[in-house]
Chains A and B, each alone.
Chain A
Amino acid sequence: KAGVTQTPRYLIKTRGQQVTLSCSPISGHRSVSWYQQTPGQGLQFLFEYFSETQRNKGNFPGRFSGRQFSNSRSEMNVSTLELGDSALYLCASSLEGVGFSGNTIYFGEGSWLTVV
């Protein structure tokens, strides 16, 4: 069974540009979440999608957005990149989401974004 797949693994962008990251969840999983990991702030929740609907959102500016497709694949977009957006972006998938007993949350390897 394939795990959570994130692309690209590494990318470098310039301030002011935008970036799109992709996540393919485990087959059958309908919940996809995104997290940002930085040395200073640690692991922070960005948003969660379930059946193409955003169900929960963290405290990030509107430059951070996401979507989920009918096949459960998800993308996140960051517009007008800032130096502080440099981070590891992790995607997580589960059958129905964290709030449901028995759901295991599986993470991908992450996308390393460097903003210069």
Chain B
Amino acid sequence: AQSVTQPDIHITVSEGASLELRCNYSYGATPYLFWYVQSPGQGLQLLLKYFSGDTLVQGIKGFEAEFKRSQSSFNLRKPSVHWSDAAEYFCAVGASDKLIFGTGTRLQVFP
């Protein structure tokens, strides 16, 4: 069955530090992969997506993600975190006309 795992429920980083959020997926075919961000009380904003081609994907707000088929991973990275990045981050795989989401990682940023 298709699934997405985000192993880290909560991550805390200092402003200016680098960030990596982990995502592992289980899907039989070539996956469509997404990262979304959700601020409190808000909907989901798309950060980036992977469909095919270059495995390093650039997104908005300085985020990037790398698709590694051998590891079934699609980790999200940012070289320098800003306080405004504090939010919840969701990884998702597109499967059969629906998105399957991970449980999310809450990012806290300290000044």
Q: Which residues of A contact B (CB under 8 A)?
A: 4, 6, 31, 33, 35, 42-43, 45, 48, 50, 55-56, 58, 90, 92, 97-99, 101-102, 104-110, 112
Consensus secondary structure, chain B interface: strand
Chain B residues, CB < 8 A from A42: 101-104
Interface pairs (9), CB distance under 8 Å: A6-B43, A35-B99, A42-B104, A43-B101, A45-B100, A90-B44, A105-B34, A105-B99, A107-B45
B42: min CB distance to chain A, Å: 6
**Tier of interface size on chain B:** 20 to 34
A107: min CB distance to chain B, Å: 4
Chain B 22-59: CB-based contact to A (< 8 A → 1; otherwise 0):
00000000001010100001111110010110000000
B92, B97, B102: the one within 8 Å of A99 (CB): B97
Number of A-B contacts (CB under 8 A): 65
Chain B 81-111: CB-based contact to A (< 8 A → 1; otherwise 0):
0000000001010111111111110000000
Q: A48-B97, A56-B97, A58-B98 are in contact. Are A104 and B46 (CB under 8 A)?
A: yes
Chain B residues, CB < 8 A from A101: 32, 51-52
- Whether B90 pairs with A99 at a CB distance below 8 angstroms is no
